[in-house]
């Protein structure tokens, strides 16, 4: 068993030293497969959300209704996010102490919660107003926003909140 600093809670120590965590961490294939799946699901969910946010901003796919794009990509985003959470939990279990003590990991979790909160706000406050067309009264340009910007507060806050966990992942892995 590894020496664990005193400030690590017992549950973290247990996860780190459990047969399950050790098995993932020391396996020739399991850890790389779980990590690769985690990164690929992250690419799918964040990539599609960036694409959708750019459409909300009016910077791409202007010929497609927002509601159609939303309906088509959200099942993939949700599936990618679910796989990302499951594989992320497995990665955490394998390196619980390292993650728990990492400031970058804590920042990553914080930004994941902010991104999820932003998505929940969008789903419950805005999605119902999307309709079926591409022009809606509430989507028109607002004074003070960049030209062509639609739904700026949600889309502009979604981009950094969605991208920050990806950079924190790299920093947490080091």
pLDDT, tens digit (0-9, with 9 covering 90-100), for 36-90: 999 999 999 999 988 888 887 778 888 888 888 888 999 999 999 999 999 999 9
Is 77 part of a structural domain of the chain?
Answer: yes
Return the pLDDT at 146.
44
Is 100 part of a structural domain of the chain?
Answer: yes
| Calpha distance 75→121 (Å, rounded) | 18
| Calpha distance 79→95 (Å, rounded) | 24
Q: What is the CA radius of gyration of the chain?
A: 19
Residue indicated by tokens 């973290």: 12
Q: With bands split at pLDDT 50, 70 and 90, how would you rate the model's confidence at 174? A: very low
| Calpha distance 13→8 (Å, rounded) | 7
Return the pLDDT at 35.
96
Domain count, the chain: 1
Is 121 part of a structural domain of the chain?
Answer: yes
Does the pLDDT at position 162 exceed 80?
no
Helix 152-173 with 103-121: angle, nearest 10 deg: 160
Residue 57's domain comprises 10-173
Is 4 part of a structural domain of the chain?
Answer: no
Is 153 part of a structural domain of the chain?
Answer: yes
Is 143 part of a structural domain of the chain?
Answer: yes
């Amino acid at each position: 068993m590894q020496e664990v600093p005193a400030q690590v809670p017992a549950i973290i120590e247990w996860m780190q030293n459990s047969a399950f965590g050790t098995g993932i961490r020391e396996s020739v294939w399991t850890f790389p497969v779980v990590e690769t799946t985690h990164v690929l699901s992250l690419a799918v969910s964040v990539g599609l959300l960036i694409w959708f946010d750019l459409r909300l901003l009016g910077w791409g796919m202007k010929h497609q209704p927002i509601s159609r794009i939303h309906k088509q990509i959200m099942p993939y985003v949700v599936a990618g996010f679910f796989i990302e959470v499951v594989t992320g939990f497995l990665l955490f279990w394998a390196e619980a102490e390292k993650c728990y003590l990492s400031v970058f990991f804590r920042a990553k979790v914080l930004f994941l919660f902010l991104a999820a909160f932003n998505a929940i706000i969008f789903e419950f406050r805005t999605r119902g107003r999307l309709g079926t067309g591409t022009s809606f009264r509430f989507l028109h340009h607002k004074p003070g926003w960049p030209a062509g910007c639609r739904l700026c507060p949600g889309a502009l806050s979604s981009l950094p909140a969605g991208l920050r966990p990806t950079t924190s992942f790299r920093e947490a892995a080091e």
